[in-house]
Amino acid sequence: MKLAIRGVGAVGGFGCGLEALNAALSSGDHKTKHVVVKTAQGPCEMPAYLADTSRLEYFLNKRALRRVDHYSRMALLGAYLALEDAGRLDEDRSRMGIIIASGYGPGRATLVFLDTFIHDGDGLSSPTSFSNSVQNAAAANISILLNITGPGLTVGQLEMSVPSALIAASLWLEEGKVDSVLFGAVDEYHDELGYFWHRFFGEKATADHEMKPFEFDLQTGIPGEGAAFFLLTRADEGVSPYGCIEDVIINRCDRSPLEIPKDALLFIGADGHKQCGKYYKEHLPENVQLACYTPIYGSLPMGPAFDMAIAALSFKQGMIFPSQACTGDERALDVNRITCLKISGSGEAGLISLIKGN
């Protein structure tokens, strides 16, 4: 079933909102910051794409946000921006569902809660920490603060979280369970993630480098965080300038060939992980027009949602943004279909195809 994209909201290392995303895509600026990771050898600096959620105070007062942690704030901001972009902030949301995809989930809150549990015992663990640590925390916070009374779901399947959650959104709309789905994806950076990154990738993580997604044999990933949200409806409700999600497929690229539409512009989610790079190298079809925007938002499991946002923006603007594979300036979009491809470190492939119009 085709899903129309009615509104898009995004926050990440590139900034807050579609204007910031548009500006980063046009300029190609990579806005990494430096984070300090505690290692056995002492503190170590490494780059990361971090999100600023201060714009959320435009929508909600501080009192309403006091129990909402950074992970949920990113999601909440993405949700508000998508509804605002769709012009549906003031609509009744009793027939709206919410589905969130996250590869890592609320990692920081989970570890904070575990720390209180370990240091102070189960009787002295913070209930607020606990409520922020559950996998569905962001969806719950959004439901409460936006008064969304339809069903809510959080899907965690690492790099396949976004396509997997989109399949659920499609089913809900097809079954008539809801009239619209506020669909989003979120992942956060936190100190422990930085530590793991350093442990796994060593000097590659600490070097002051840039992501090189097409250098498939090299580890050049830089951790990122952020949220991308979409207001989705059935496509028969009218044309959307952002286009439609036409198809979502998850398979294993080492077992069957990738089903990439021949006329599609392919956005690949190669995000500098050598483990995933080998699959892109082996399985990308020849003679396909490619683009890759991971250096705009970083390495994170929910990256395909940023690619969806960029695809939707490309349809609306009628242009292809410059990327490392499409050298040169911005140019007119000459295709009606964009497919976002993400391959995991174990060879799972998620394909999300968007088409212009409906």
Partner 1 sequence: MTVKEQLKKIIVEELNLEEISPEEIEDDAPLFGEGLGLDSLDAVEIVVLLEKHFGVEIKSLDEGREAFRSINTLAAYIEERMPR
Q: Which residues bind partner 1 (CB under 8 A)?
A: 61-63, 66-67, 120, 123-128, 131
Contact 172, 97 (CB under 8 A): yes
Token digits for 238?
Answer: 């009218």
d(CA 295, CA 270): 10
In the complex with partner 1, the residue whose CB is nearer, 66 or 262, is 66
Please state, in angstroms and rounded to a whole number, the distance separating the CA atoms of residues 65 and 56: 9
Q: Which residues of 308-340 are buried (b: 16+ CB within 10 A; e: fewer)?
A: bbbbbbbbbbebbbbbbbbeeeeeebebebbbb
Q: Which is nearer to partner 1, 124 or 332 (CB)?
A: 124
Q: How far is the CB of 133 from partner 1 (least distance, A)?
A: 15
> To the nearest whole angstrom, how small is the minimum distance from the Cβ of residue 77 to partner 1?
17
Q: How far is the CB of 14 from partner 1 (least distance, A)?
A: 27
Element (H, E) at 229: strand 226-234
Residue closer to partner 1, measured from CB, 106 or 301:
106
Question: Closest distance between partner 1 and the C-beta of residue 130, in Å?
Answer: 10
Query: In 3D, which of 214, 138, 132 has the Cα closest to residue 182?
Result: 138
Q: Are strands 180-187 and 96-101 parallel, antiparallel or unpaired?
A: parallel
Determine what percent of the chain falls in helix, strand and coil, rounding each to the nearest 5.
40, 25, 35
Q: CB of 191: closest distance to partner 1 in angstroms? A: 20
Alpha-carbon distances, residue 188 vs 86, 94, 242, 247 (angstroms): 25, 29, 26, 27
Q: Which residue, 61 or 287, has its beta carbon nearer to partner 1?
A: 61
When the beta carbons of 74 and 222 are compared against partner 1, the nearer one is: 74
Torsion of CA 237, 242, 243, 247, to 10 degrees: -110
Of 65 and 98, nearer to partner 1 (C-beta) is 65
Q: Distance between CA 308 and CA 246 in Å, rounded?
A: 12
What amino acid occupies position 279?
Answer: Y
Residue number, 88 or 108, with CB nearest to partner 1: 108
Closest to partner 1 by CB, 69 vs 188, is 69
* Residue 329 amino acid letter: D
Assess contact for 185 and 101: CB atoms under 8 A: yes
